[in-house]
Amino acid sequence: MSTADPFEGEVHTLMFDLYGTVVDMQGGLTAAVTPYLKRKGWTGRPDALVTWWRRTHFENSMIDALLHRDHTPYREIGHRAVSYTLERAGIEHTPDEVKTLVAEIERLKPFPDVVEALKKLKTRYQLTILSNGDPDMLAAAMPHIGVEFDRVISVAEAGSFKPHVATYRHAAETLGCAPDAILFVANHAFDCVGAKAYGMRTCFVDRRKRPFGDWPYQPDLVVADFAELAERLT
């Protein structure tokens, strides 16, 4: 167990991104979509199609945030992204099939190192989620994780997708926390950049072994996985 506190007791809340950070989105959706693609006779790589799906979803959510109009639910963005991706792949599909695929997001499992690490961290920190997911999607996802969080916050409450500053501000105000008392943990550089730009401390979970980039908002910690995060903070 580590005896060094990198934040000298100033951080009391850990705030996690959910999709791709706590739960294995790429692996889980690839497993879910593989039998569907086989039934359709599609001979491409299921993981590549999931990557298209996720990139399209991300792009569409960023467009939605930049429009400064009414917030579009995450599920609706997902339906658009999957429909577009299947069309791009030349796969005939129905609206019900699209809805079924997107619903798999609510059943994603955590990465193997997550549960044990979160249980250790929970003895010392308040654990929270800040996710782009809709409130009902997050409620459905929680039983599949195996650890109870102190608070689960959807960006729908702030009316915009991350990394809009309003999302991080709303989360901090909801918890009654100063931004620098929160360590935001994410597997995505854009999310760490957004949180750090607002004033939170950040931890980049570098599962994919990719560079963070030359942003002026560099993470305070970089870890390989949640096991290392728990080792560094407890």
Asked if residue 154 is part of any domain, the answer here is yes
Q: Find the mean pLDDT for residues 23-45.
A: 97
How many CB atoms within 10 Å of residue 88? 12
The reply to whether 101 and 202 lie within a common domain is: no
By CB atoms closer than 10 A (0-12, 13-18, 19+), residue 208 is exposed
Would the pLDDT of 164 be above 90?
A: yes
| pLDDT number for residue 5 | 79
Q: Say yes or no: 55 and 131 in one domain.
A: no
Residues 121 and 210 in one domain: yes
Domain check: are 118 and 19 in the same one?
Answer: yes
Rounded to an integer, the average pLDDT of 68-96 is 97
Tell me the C-alpha distance between 137 and 152, whole Å.
11
Would you state the pLDDT for residue 231?
97
Please state, rounded to an integer, the average pLDDT across all residues of the chain. 96
Extract the tokens encoding 85: 């991706």
Same domain (yes/no): 131, 96: no
Segment 98-150, tens digit of pLDDT: 999 999 999 999 999 999 999 999 999 999 999 999 999 999 999 999 999 99
Last residue in a domain, options 105, 123, 146: 105
pLDDT of residue 9: 85
206 and 141 inside one domain: yes
What would the mean pLDDT of 216-231 be, rounded to a whole number? 98
Q: Which residues constitute the domain of residue 98?
A: 25-105
pLDDT bracket for residue 210 (50, 70, 90): very high
The H or E element containing residue 154 is strand 151-154
Helix 74-88 to helix 46-67 angle (10° resolution) is 130
* Tokens matching residue 56: 């399209």
Question: Using CA atoms, how far apart are residues 228 and 25, in angstroms rounded to an integer?
Answer: 20
Is there a single domain that holds both residue 92 and residue 201?
no
Domain boundary among 59, 79, 105: 105
138 and 98, same structural domain? Answer: no
Exposed/middle/buried for residue 131 (C-beta within 10 Å: 0-12, 13-18, 19+): buried
Does 150 lie in the same domain as 177? yes
- pLDDT range class, residue 42, cuts 50, 70, 90: very high
Q: Residue 1's pLDDT is what? A: 45
In the structure encoding, which two tokens stand for residue 175, read together? 């918890």
Q: What residues does 225 pair with on adjacent strands? A: none
